[in-house]
Amino acid sequence: AQSVAQPEDQVNVAEGNPLTVKCTYSVSGNPYLFWYVQYPNRGLQFLLKYITGDNLVKGSYGFEAEFNKSQTSFHLKKPSALVSDSALYFCAVRDMTGFKTIFGAGTRLFVKA
């Protein structure tokens, strides 16, 4: 079965520092991996996705994610965090039917000024 795991409930970083939000996955076959962000009281917004190609994927708002097949990871990164990046981040994998997206439990990111 397809699944994703986000091992950290919460990540705290200082503004200006690099941030990493971790995600590991378990899939059979080629993974379709995604990151979404939910700002307070807003709907989910798409950040980026990996389907094939370069292992480093660049997305919205300066975020990027690195696909690592040997470690089955898809960590979200940003070189310099902003206070406005504080939100809930979801890693997701599309299931084999392509019909359903399986979300991780989410990681809360707090960026302090």
Q: Which of residues 71-90 bind another protein (CB under 8 A)?
A: 86-88, 90
By CB under 8 A, tell whether 52 contacts another protein. Answer: no
Binding characters for another protein, 8-47, by CB under 8 A (x = yes): --------------------------x-x-x-xxxxxxx-
Hey, is 80 helix, strand or coil? coil
The least distance separating another protein from the CB of residue 73, rounded to whole angstroms, comes to 21
# binding residues, another protein (CB under 8 A): 23
Which listed range, 17-25, 56-64, 72-80, 96-104, lies at the site for another protein (CB under 8 A)? Answer: 96-104
What gap in Å lies between CA 10 and CA 79, rounded to an integer? 18
Tokens 């079965």 correspond to 1
Phi then psi for residue 14, to 5 deg, are -90, 145
The least distance separating another protein from the CB of residue 95, rounded to whole angstroms, comes to 10
Q: CA dist 30 to 58, 64, 103, Å?
A: 19, 20, 17
What gap in Å lies between CA 73 and CA 50, rounded to an integer? 11
Hey, is 110 helix, strand or coil? strand
- Which residue number, 60 or 71, has a Cβ lying nearer to another protein? 60
Hey, is 46 helix, strand or coil? strand
Residues forming the site for another protein (CB under 8 A): 34, 36, 38, 40-46, 49, 86-88, 90, 97-101, 103, 106, 108
